[in-house]
């Protein structure tokens, strides 16, 4: 990996986390999983760089 993709880079991370939790409120497990999948695809599309996305897949996988 060329960049430290795990370094903090989110403006107001606690606020984002609260928003993320709020977006899941009232959803079943299946709905929450589907929401996460759509969110990941939207974020990947926004990012757009195939190599960075590949690096993120490696970084997110458990050791």
**Residue 38: exposure state from Cβ atoms within 10 A (0-12, 13-18, ≥19):** exposed
pLDDT tens-digit map of 21-41: 999 999 999 999 999 999 999
Domain that holds residue 59: 28-63
Contacts with 59 (C-beta within 8 Å, 6 or more apart), sequence order: 1, 5, 6
Residue 33 in domain: yes
Which tokens belong to 62?
A: 């458990």
The number of domains in the chain is 1
Section 7-30 average pLDDT: 96
Residue 2 in domain: no
Q: Inform me whether the pLDDT recorded for 1 exceeds 60.
A: no
Residue 17 in domain: no
> What pLDDT is attached to residue 3?
65
d(CA 15, CA 8): 14
d(CA 9, CA 7): 6
Give the residue from 43, 22, 32, 28 showing the smallest Cα distance to 52: 43
**What pTM does this model have?**
0.81
Residue 10 in domain: no
Residue 15 in domain: no
Residue 3 in domain: no
């Amino acid at each position: 990996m060329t960049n430290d993709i795990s370094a903090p880079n989110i403006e107001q991370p606690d606020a984002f986390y609260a928003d993320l939790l709020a977006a899941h409120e009232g959803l079943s497990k299946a709905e929450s999983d589907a929401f996460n999948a759509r969110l990941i695809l939207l974020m990947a599309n926004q990012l757009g760089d195939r190599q960075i996305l590949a690096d993120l897949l490696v970084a997110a996988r458990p050791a």
